Amino acid sequence: MQQSIVTLDMEGVLTPEIWIAVAEKTKIPGLRRTTRDEPDYDKLMRGRLALLEKHDLKLSAIQNVIASLRPLEGAKEFLDELRTLTQVVILSDTFEQFALPLLRQLNWPTLLCHKLVIKNDRIVGYKLRVPDQKKKTVAAFKSLNYHVISAGDSYNDTAMLLEANAGFLIHAPENVKKEFPQFKAVESYAELLKLIKAAMF
């Protein structure tokens, strides 16, 4: 009999969108663009790096914004309850240098993400853990005979949801829900928890 495991996106699902928070604090509107808007992650990041250089925005300033953020309302309670039922792994396209304050507030769930290249407090590049990490991680869990249930909100989550045995959208924008109608879309953690429980072995 297979064991179940849940993979979740982080930003937009459990926490605020980091880049949107930075955009609001720094008044740089171009940083509001996220994976909800742009399917090409490399294009998105190259645009972000160009804006950081143009506005001389350093890593420490971004980290100060992140330190002020809190998980979405009900996220910690949802995650705590879910982790009593099954193993949970957060699969995110965020970076190690961004995530720690939010992970602390979520009681340290396991996070697989990427890493920024930093020189003298400046973000000069980024290194993907592996390309298509969300899809590949789900495929790896399936190869270990796990029944994988996934949830996300953005374009960069859809490959993970397609690969999973069961995939759901939560807090997704209308454009993503419209383009991927095969995924049940919900707006609350209570609804998502009900779907996950029903999909578990």
* Tens of pLDDT, residues 6-30: 999 999 999 999 999 999 999 999 9
- 1: pLDDT strictly greater than 80: no
Phi-psi group of 49: left, alpha or beta (phi > 0 → left; psi -120 to 50 → alpha; rest → beta): alpha
Average of per-residue pLDDT across 156-178: 96
- Model confidence, pTM: 0.90
- Give the catalytic positions in this structure: 9, 11
3-class secondary structure per residue, 97-120 = HHHHHHHHHCCCCEEEEEEEEEEC
- pLDDT tops 70 at residue 65: yes
8 A C-beta contact, residue 119 and residue 126: no
Residue pLDDT, tens place only, 105-163: 999 999 999 999 999 999 999 999 899 999 999 999 999 999 999 999 999 999 999 99
Query: What are the C-alpha distances in Å from 189 to residues 20, 99, 198, 201?
Result: 22, 21, 14, 20
The whole-number average pLDDT for the span 47-75 is 96
With cut-offs at 50, 70 and 90, classify the pLDDT of residue 3.
Answer: very high
